[in-house]
Amino acid sequence: DEEEDEDEPQKKGFGGSSAESGQMPWAVAIFKWSKKDSFTPCGGTLISRRHVLTAMHCLANRDAFKPKEGGGS
């Protein structure tokens, strides 16, 4: 096993299982865009047709985030 760097984000889920596309239509991935690429720092939950509930720290730098819909539908 490789040692994990404490400063690097972990690519693991705990206690979860895989989901089929469209199985959880209320789940939202929040992408952060940089000049080179994008990554998903957070997720959210649709609470209405126009509103997503997420943690405040997920949107600390709102200018770097872009909505992307339909990824899992």
DSSP string computed for 19-63: --TTS-TTEEEEEEE-SS-EEEEEEEEESSSS-EE--GGGGTTGG
Residue ranges covered by each domain of the chain: 27-66
Is the confidence at residue 46, as pLDDT, over 90?
Answer: yes
Confidence band for 73, pLDDT divided at 50, 70 and 90 = very low
Is the confidence at residue 9, as pLDDT, over 60?
Answer: no
Whole-structure pTM value = 0.54
Mind listing the pLDDT tens digit for each residue in 56-70?
878 776 666 665 555
